[in-house]
Amino acid sequence: MVSAVKSFSELKVIELAGSIAGAYCAKLFADNGAQVVTLGESQLTQSQSLYLNRGKSAGPAEDDDRVRNADVVIRSAPCGSLQQPFFLPSPETVLVEISPYGSSGPYSDWLGTSATVYAHSGHTYLTGDPQREPLMGPPTHPPYAAGLFAFIGAMGALFDRERNTQIHSVEVTHLEVLVALHQMSFVRYQLGKDVLCRMGNRWTGHGQPNGMYRCADGWLALSAPTDVQLETLLSITGLTDLLDDPRIQSPMDFQEHPQLLDERLTPWLLERETRDVVGLFQAAQIPSAPANTILGLLEDDHLEDRNFWRQAGPWLVPGPAFQTSLVGGTPAELPASEDSEGPLSGIRVLDLAKVWAGPLAARILAELGAEVIQVEAPWGRGPREIPESLVVAQRFHPDNIQGPDQWNRNGHLIKYGLNKESVVLDLSRDEGLAALERLVPNVDVLIENFSPRVMPQLGLDEHRLHHLNENLIYMTMPGYGRSGPAENWVAYGTTVDSHAGLSQLVGYKDEHPWKCGVAWPDPIAGLHAAAAILIALWDRSTNGGVTIEAAQFEATISVIGDVIVEAQMNNHDPSLMGNRDHDYVPQGVYPCKGSDQWASISVIDQQAWETLCQVAQLPEEWTQLNRSERQVLHDSIDAALRSWTSNFDQIDLAEFLQGQGVAAAPVLNVPGVLADKHLKSRSVFGMVEQPRVGPILFPCLPIHFSAASERPPTRPAPVLGENNHVVLQNIGGLSPTELEDLERLGVVATEPPV
């Protein structure tokens, strides 16, 4: 038995002042009790520093003694590469390096801003009006997400240092992080032969309505992707006659004909107040939420009730993205590990989570070597057969054919089942609950993202779980937490994002808020949950069991903390800027040769501007314009650049400009991302031979560990109930006779019920 030699609060972390990504990685250490010192002159703005540097101390640029005694050193670059290698004075220190493109590969010397990384990773292509230029997402997300993965990598390296005496350096890139955080794009392209593109002001997932709608007094986020939710919505709004349209054979057909619903739903919503509509829909279990402004978040009743905000000087900043409460019990040492199996080998996880956020957190633990047991209901992957309209709408099945056992061929379920084991238990039956309770004492972590009512209704609240296993790390991920006015709201990432203010950061200049092509609250919550579990595992030798509450709403707000501070400083909400930026001027998405081909260009300093003026043959009198002068002339500059870029192939243009020292990237679609030579050179995608499907590429965990000569192979997702016998007998202690009885009752199964 091996345990961590230091508590989390004893860890010493050095942040070498760099980017938002490095600062957020260090903030996760500081917020949870580690000793963090930032060395060097900060490159953050005042609003960023106020939020990201809370709880840290500062030191001079040269402080070899502190670096020598550090457990972790974090080094990051905001736009370019980390030019010079960094040599650690102590061989036991974990070095974490974060940059846009990484230390190797054909584009390792490229400049990268949020705008260009969004473009290169395939995300920009998913957002905006299909008849206009595509839009970048919230500017803060690439560095914050990179900081989260860097923290997870740092913790993985610390576990390997203490358990396996392996010393790693860790590398994370903004580009690979965003590639990893696509939800369905790669699956739909490879299986359903569908290239996701912009779908207007709505999420690029299946189901309709699923986007932003205007009410009499503001904007509303609405999502009704299931048949039941849509039929309920049509009944409430008096629009059930739409189901009589000959083009609508099932509610899923609105996916192919969204205008049929929008034409009637839009005027109905315009006549009503946002609060009234949300109250009506939520009472009917239809996911919906008001679209908060940034300053409006500070007055949100739910956040106020949960005492979410913290003080930073005169300003309010987001509180913790997750909350941990100690349960007690006998402190438990970590189980022994085998070097070849990853830093979390020997850790066992029960994964009861659904959809994206929770399954992502569990899959990250599996990719770090944990044994993750996915507990599924017999009907959890759907019925035996599904309507053809749903197969077409989802495009998750090979060749859009559901096949003889379609529940094992759904690409979305496969993606989040990678590296896991599958056990089927009907938890609506006492026998299923009893079998689950026999697993709980023999696991280290349990993850679920149900609404707060579900686990208590099953008789499995935190008290019961910790009675069964006093050292259990119990992660609960309700959308809005377990208290507050919105506690029982139905929460999808597609509605939480607008409620958390993200839609106020995306949209064409001076127009209305816009829905991103990715439901960002899901991966952001999933990453925070994985980070919280790693902290709890590290400290289990002193704390014993804990309950961790990771509310999706609060995690989402935590990655726009500096935006919230800046809005308070300016006393107004940020204005929509399209693809523009206050600091990088000009910045935009410009047309290239071919249909729907674009490139993102971002001018980070005066030298880059003068270079761009020269190569694009812009008016000579523009060359010496400073940033504020360029901002005034942005429309004219954009027009001139559009005329110039339209003569180039998007990749040729990006490579040419990067060679001249100007940040640029092609706005890639999914096939373009899969074919990208830089991503290929860094082994960003791994091939999985998936049963019932065949070979399929998935993004790997976007963390490079130096001590691993190559990425570990990704194990295919299990078919439904594939591991029933092994898990229930070897871990749950069921006898063969007991297992046969459960199978006879249908509590344990390998197929959906008839």
pLDDT tens figures, 6-27: 899 999 999 999 999 999 999 9
pLDDT for the residue 5: 65
Q: Does any domain span residue 686?
A: no
pLDDT tens, position by position, 518-559: 999 999 999 999 999 999 999 988 888 999 999 999 999 999
Long-range interactions of 619-627: CB distance < 8 A, separation 24+: 627/583, 627/585
When pLDDT is averaged across residues 266-280 and rounded to a whole number, the result is 97
Measure the CA–CA gap between 94 and 88, rounded to whole angstroms: 9
Residue 62 has pLDDT above 80, yes or no: no
Q: Does any domain span residue 252?
A: yes
Q: Which of 236, 268, 290 is the endpoint of a domain?
A: 290
Q: Does any domain span residue 286?
A: yes
When pLDDT is averaged across residues 219-232 and rounded to a whole number, the result is 92
Give SS3 for 696. strand
Query: Beta strand 704-705 with 169-173: parallel, antiparallel or unpaired?
Result: antiparallel
Measure the CA–CA gap between 372 and 370, rounded to whole angstroms: 6
Q: Which residues pair with 373 in a beta bridge?
A: 350, 421
**Top-confidence residue, 488 or 333:** 488
DSSP state of 687: E
Q: Does any domain span residue 205?
A: no
Q: How many Cα atoms are found within 13 Å in the side-chain-facing hemisphere of 59?
A: 17
Q: Which of 290, 313, 347 is the endpoint of a domain?
A: 290
Mean pLDDT lowest for which of 55-59, 265-269, 434-438? Answer: 55-59
In degrees and rounded to multiples of 5, residue 19 shows phi and psi of -110, 175
User: What residue ranges in 532-668 does DSSP mark as E strands?
Assistant: 545-549, 587-591, 598-602, 663-666
pLDDT for the residue 60: 81
Residue 371 has pLDDT above 90, yes or no: yes
Residue 419 has pLDDT above 50, yes or no: yes
Mean pLDDT lowest for which of 42-46, 331-335, 639-643, 723-727? Answer: 331-335
Domain that holds residue 256: 210-290
Measure the CA–CA gap between 112 and 602, rounded to whole angstroms: 8
Measure the CA–CA gap between 377 and 746, rounded to whole angstroms: 10
Q: Does any domain span residue 70?
A: no
The candidate with the shortest Cα–Cα distance to 186, out of 116, 101, 122, is 122
Measure the CA–CA gap between 452 and 477, rounded to whole angstroms: 9
When pLDDT is averaged across residues 200-222 and rounded to a whole number, the result is 86
pLDDT for the residue 1: 29
Residue 84 has pLDDT above 90, yes or no: no
pLDDT for the residue 326: 83
Mean pLDDT lowest for which of 122-136, 147-161, 224-238, 250-264? Answer: 250-264
Residue 3 has pLDDT above 60, yes or no: no
Q: Does any domain span residue 229?
A: yes
pLDDT tens, position by position, 289-342: 999 999 999 999 999 999 999 999 899 999 999 999 988 667 777 776 655 678
Q: Does any domain span residue 218?
A: yes
Under the banding of pLDDT at 50, 70 and 90, the label for residue 283 is: very high
When pLDDT is averaged across residues 212-224 and rounded to a whole number, the result is 94
Query: By CB neighbour count within 10 A (0-12 exposed, 13-18 middle, 19+ buried), where does 416 fall?
Result: buried
Residue 270 has pLDDT above 80, yes or no: yes
Under the banding of pLDDT at 50, 70 and 90, the label for residue 263 is: very high
pLDDT for the residue 401: 92
Q: Are 451 and 523 in contact (CB under 8 A)?
A: no
Q: Which of 625, 643, 667 is the endpoint of a domain?
A: 667
pLDDT tens, position by position, 568-627: 999 999 999 999 999 999 999 999 999 999 999 999 999 999 999 999 999 999 999 999
Measure the CA–CA gap between 143 and 23, rounded to whole angstroms: 9
Mean pLDDT lowest for which of 355-364, 399-408, 627-636? Answer: 399-408
pLDDT for the residue 265: 96
Q: Does any domain span residue 593?
A: yes
The candidate with the shortest Cα–Cα distance to 345, out of 370, 327, 367, 364, is 370
Give percent above pLDDT 70 in the chain.
Answer: 97
Residue 2 has pLDDT above 70, yes or no: no
Going from the C-alpha of 601 to that of each of 101, 133, 402, 665, 749, the distances in angstroms are 16, 13, 42, 7, 54
Under the banding of pLDDT at 50, 70 and 90, the label for residue 97 is: very high
Residue 173 has pLDDT above 70, yes or no: yes
Measure the CA–CA gap between 373 and 366, rounded to whole angstroms: 9
The tally of domains found in the chain comes to 2
Residue 388 has pLDDT above 70, yes or no: yes
Under the banding of pLDDT at 50, 70 and 90, the label for residue 199 is: confident
Where residue 536 falls (left for φ over 0; alpha for ψ -120 to 50; beta otherwise) is alpha
When pLDDT is averaged across residues 233-250 and rounded to a whole number, the result is 93
Indicate the average pLDDT of the chain.
93
CATH number, domain containing residue 624: 3.30.1540.10
pLDDT for the residue 524: 97
Using the structure block, give the residue that is written with the tokens 């017999």: 378
